[in-house]
A and B are shown apart, each in its own frame.
Chain A
Amino acid sequence: MVSQSTAQPSVTSHRRAAYSFLLLGVILYVVPVLFKQQILDGAAQFGTLAALFGMLFLSIAVAVYTVSREGGE
């Protein structure tokens, strides 16, 4: 059983990491759309992958957060 006081900081950092990654993905994803896409095709591909990974990390972080909260209660 993980106590809430020890679980909370790591959960928060997971969530921060996930949000940051998703934000990075979305920015990299949208930038090539706003500017000339042909120049930034590489960035667009990286941005799309980053958005996908960000979404995955976010969903894992949300589930970890919930499980930790239930474990701490």
Chain B
Amino acid sequence: MSYHLLLIPVLYILAMLGVGVYYSDEASSDEGFLVADRRIGSVVGGGALAVTFVSTSSLLGLVSAGYRIGIGFHVFAAVGSVLAFVFAMFFVAPQIRSLDVSTLPEYFEVRFGERSKRLSALIVALIMVIYLVAQVRGGALVAEYILDISYVKGVLLAGIVFTLYTLLGGMYAITVTSFIQACLMILSVTLVAVAGISEIGGAGAFLQQVSSQANFYFTSTGHAGLGYAMSFGVLMFLAILSSPHVIFRYFASKDVETARSTASMATLFTGVFYFVVAFVPVLVIFLVTNVATPDQAFLELSQVLFQNSPFVLGLIFASILAAAMSTSDAMLMNAATSVVYDLGDPWFDDGQDRTNYVRAVTLLIGIVVVALTISPPGLILAIVILALSLFVGAFFAPLMLGLWVEDRSDEAAVAGMLCGVLAVAVTHPTTPLVKVSEDPYAAIIGVTVSTVAFLVVNQFANPAPKGSEQPAP
């Protein structure tokens, strides 16, 4: 592998570590580590928020699936994601920011009580570790391909880099690095799409080729069923509104209005990203003669288009590493803060600074994830859909109803979380106790069961004391 090709990926890795070191002082207090002293603006915060949900599985997975089955599911996922951020802009981000909490379990404590805080912290910590294994595996496979190293070395490299900058710079570092990663990813997919369409002969020739050679591509179902496409879109919508590693970005906004603007900016980043990526898989069909592994289709297309431009190719490789790290850092931080700040409460005095403890736990979880990833279970996309579905089942109903229901009880939140998680676990195809045909359906079943459980228990339980502050309208 040439020096020119490696230069930008290596510079990228060093830059990410540099950001962690740069912000290590500012992140040396609880407020600094957890919520960046609530100083994040809307543009940087919006880019970071969008890219938190766009990972290797989105970039490589969308291109791979689009190449195989067409764009139908992608359009549903894109519209679902954009509408989720528009919904959050009006009904979630300002309200949740106005409560001045620092973690999702703390939100449940303020709105419901101690038991739902503990249960949510446990769910966050456990599911995040499973989810992280999939993310690090994706990053390691990319590092293996790009840097021409063994899989184990790829796991170590991906794991060490994001663990180090997360534990050093906390929320400051993961926001700035995620914003850089968002810009890098949009730049690289745009370069590939524009160069590919030019290679074919412009937009007219491109559309003509789609009609003649791949007329399944821009249709609503493609080679997959409409049910899969629609439920995937619904899963994206629900997951953006209930995943802890997405929601916690709002806590770091400067104020309530900035939280609203952050969600708005995230729609822009998400919309542009999904729009551009939609054109890439069909370019693979036209320009790559033999796709050895569909998951590497994006890499293979980039090599065809930029074989004489090693710096551009290096930039694209760096953007794929960025996709892997942009989600992993937020997940790692959520897992560590849930353990130290929410589950670990009884072991600390009130007001005691826990920054060094959370850094130690971040390192420990990073090591556990690296160890598990060396021989991971299951396929990446399957693990990601399972983890997202569990989050949706556990948190969507209690989170939304916690914002809008007047008399709410701790017991109702606990029942909603437990029943939602169990419903997803039972109906998901990985544990086929109840047969459902597609992976994303489990999340929809989970939300339904969780909402019913919450509302039924809430009818009979004592209301929790109201939070000190009502959410902003």
Q: Which chain A residues have a beta carbon within 8 Å of chain B's beta carbons?
A: 22, 26, 29-30, 32-33, 37, 41, 44-45, 47-49, 51-53, 55-56, 58-60, 62-63, 65-66, 70
Please tell me if the beta carbons of A63 and B264 are within 8 angstroms of each other in the complex: yes
With A33-B226, A63-B264 given, is the CB distance from A56 to B220 under 8 Å?
Answer: no
For the A-B complex with A45-B210, A52-B275, A70-B261 known, give 13 more contacts whose Cβ atoms are closer than 8 Å.
A26-B79, A33-B221, A44-B219, A45-B218, A47-B220, A52-B75, A58-B82, A59-B267, A62-B89, A62-B264, A65-B264, A70-B42, A70-B257
Q: List, in ascending order, chain A residues with CB within 8 A of B220's CB.
A: 29-30, 32-33, 44, 47-48
Complex formed: what's the CA distance from A41 to B221 in Å?
11
- Whether B253 is near chain A, meaning CB under 8 Å from some CB there, is no
Q: Which chain B residues have a beta carbon within 8 Å of chain A's beta carbons?
A: 42, 71-72, 75, 78-79, 82, 86, 89, 210-211, 215, 218-221, 226, 257, 260-261, 264-265, 267-268, 270-272, 274-275, 278
Please tell me if the beta carbons of A66 and B75 are within 8 angstroms of each other in the complex: no
Please tell me if the beta carbons of B71 and A48 are within 8 angstroms of each other in the complex: yes
Complex formed: what's the CA distance from A18 to B42 in Å?
22
Q: List, in ascending order, chain A residues with CB within 8 A of B79's CB.
A: 22, 26, 51, 55
Q: List, in ascending order, chain A residues with CB within 8 A of B270's CB.
A: 59
Quote the shortest CB–CB distance from B260 to chain A (angstroms).
7
With A51-B79, A66-B260, A66-B265 given, is the CB distance from A59 to B272 under 8 Å?
Answer: yes
Complex formed: what's the CA distance from A66 to B275 in Å?
21
| Top 6 A-B pairs, shortest CB-CB distance | A59-B271, A63-B268, A66-B264, A48-B218, A56-B275, A45-B218
Please tell me if the beta carbons of A48 and B75 are within 8 angstroms of each other in the complex: yes
With A45-B218, A62-B89, A66-B261 given, is the CB distance from A55 to B275 under 8 Å?
Answer: yes
Complex formed: what's the CA distance from A52 to B211 in Å?
17
Give the tally of cross-chain contacts (CB within 8 A).
Answer: 79
Q: List, in ascending order, chain B residues with CB within 8 A of A49's CB.
A: 218
Complex formed: what's the CA distance from A66 to B86 in Å?
11
Q: List, in ascending order, chain B residues with CB within 8 A of A22's CB.
A: 79
Of the candidates A37, A45, A52, the one whose C-beta lies within 8 Å of that of B78 is A52
Please tell me if the beta carbons of A58 and B265 are within 8 angstroms of each other in the complex: no
Q: List, in ascending order, chain B residues with CB within 8 A of A62's CB.
A: 86, 89, 264, 267-268
Q: List, in ascending order, chain B residues with CB within 8 A of A66's CB.
A: 42, 89, 260-261, 264-265
Complex formed: what's the CA distance from A63 to B269 in Å?
9
Complex formed: what's the CA distance from A51 to B270 in Å?
15
Complex formed: what's the CA distance from A10 to B291 in Å?
47
Q: List, in ascending order, chain B residues with CB within 8 A of A41's CB.
A: 215, 219
Complex formed: what's the CA distance from A28 to B220 in Å?
10
Of the candidates B215, B265, B278, the one whose C-beta lies within 8 Å of that of A52 is B278
Complex formed: what's the CA distance from A62 to B88 in Å?
12
Please tell me if the beta carbons of A58 and B261 are within 8 angstroms of each other in the complex: no
Closest partner residue, chain A, to B276 (CB atom) = A56
With A33-B226, A51-B79, A63-B265 given, is the CB distance from A56 to B271 under 8 Å?
Answer: yes
Closest partner residue, chain A, to B74 (CB atom) = A52
Q: List, in ascending order, chain A residues with CB within 8 A of B78's CB.
A: 52, 55
- Contact sample, A vs B, 9 pairs, CB 8 Å cutoff: A32-B219, A41-B215, A41-B219, A45-B211, A48-B219, A52-B274, A58-B86, A60-B271, A62-B89
